[in-house]
Structures are given as structure tokens and as C-alpha cells.
Structure 1
């Protein structure tokens, strides 16, 4: 049985994957570099979010997944706001999101040192 945290990661991974496919179609038919970039990031990170949700792990892994998810939302949200609304999500949201994704991946890597069996 999955905890509520794992359910969130599975849901986020599924939504990111679906959004990535839909935005890829938009980018292919209507153009738009920011839309294509957002689609690529969503598709690249969806499997990681699904894996975190399905495999579970320790608190460090969950924290890394949360940081990754927040960064993905900020980065892609900013790119899509620029494309569709002509404005930024908020100043520095894409760089903050990108930095958070990098940090999330590093925390995920560090989770291997934390031990899988710890709560």
C-alpha cells in the first residue's frame, strides 16, 4: 500500500506525462520554443516522479522528489505563462525552478546514502 506522499508522486508523474505529450503536439502543430521546452522537461521528469511514487524509499528520496516537482512546476509554469499570457509567472521563476530541479536530482542521488529502509 502506498502512502499519501507516494500517491502524490504517482499522480504528478501521470499528469506531467500527459501534459508533456499534449504540449508536444501543440509545439509540433503551432510552434513555440517555450512550449516544446516545457514539454521536453515534463516528459523527462514524469518517469522519475512515477518511480519515486512506485518504489517509495526514504524521507530523503521523498524530499528530493518534492523539490524536483516544485522546480518542474516553476520552470514549466514560467515558460508556459510566457507563451500563452505574454508575461512571467513571477520574476526569476524559471531560474529558481531550474535550480530547484538540479537540487532535487542531487537530493535524490544523496538518498542512496541515507539507506532505503529508514522511515
Structure 2
């Protein structure tokens, strides 16, 4: 199985992270500062993990395609749930829509740990 999906998805995700960051800086006008900080956290994690997703195949190497796929999947799910929840909370100004953030955070941590377990 090819690992090109991680490069493509990471690139698209990185582009989206820049766009959402620009929206947060110029378009989002939250009524409370805490919502702006929540949005900023989601955006920062989104961009950082997009970069890591692009780098995952190189980190894992050609011998560890399965681990690269597992790590990439964990990072992708984590970004969607964590950053998506942060964005939703900030835009709606309703903390109840952010219930997926902890699951996303755990998926991101698992993605990092899976990369730490790669044997080259």
C-alpha cells in the first residue's frame, strides 16, 4: 500500500490549517477571549500535526509501511476530532460541541507514541 495518501492529505490539511488560522485572526470575533484562545489552539495543533503527517512516511521508512499507516491514521483522526472540536467550540461559543476533543487528543498522543515505536 502506498504512503502517498499521507503526503497528499497532510498537504491539504496544512493548507486548510493556514486558511483556518487566517480566519481566526481576521474573521472570527468571539465574544469572549477564551473562545479565541480555543480556536488558536485548534489551529496550532492542526498545522503542527499536518506537518508531522507529511513527514510520517520518512520517519517510518520503507520497511515500516504498516506502522506509517497506523501513525498516519491516528494523526488524521486526532486532527479532525481535536482541532475540529476546538473550531466548533470557538465558532458556536458553545463548549458542549467540543466533546470529541479529548478523544482527538488521545489519538494525537497515540500517533506520536506509534512513531516512537518505529524500528528502523
Q: TM > 0.5 between the two? A: yes
Match of 2:97 in 1: 88
The Cα of 1:103 is off from its aligned counterpart by: 0.8
**Maintained 8 Å contact 1:75/1:97:** yes
Where in structure 2 are there 5+ consecutive unaligned residues?
A: 30-35
The Cα of 1:11 is off from its aligned counterpart by: 2.0
Match of 2:16 in 1: 19
**Maintained 8 Å contact 2:89/2:97:** yes
TM-score of the superposed pair, with normalisation by structure 2: 0.76
The Cα of 1:61 is off from its aligned counterpart by: 2.4
**Maintained 8 Å contact 2:57/2:68:** no
Match of 2:33 in 1: none
Where in structure 1 are there 5+ consecutive unaligned residues?
A: none
TM-score of the superposed pair, with normalisation by structure 1: 0.77
2:50 to 46, 49, 58: 46
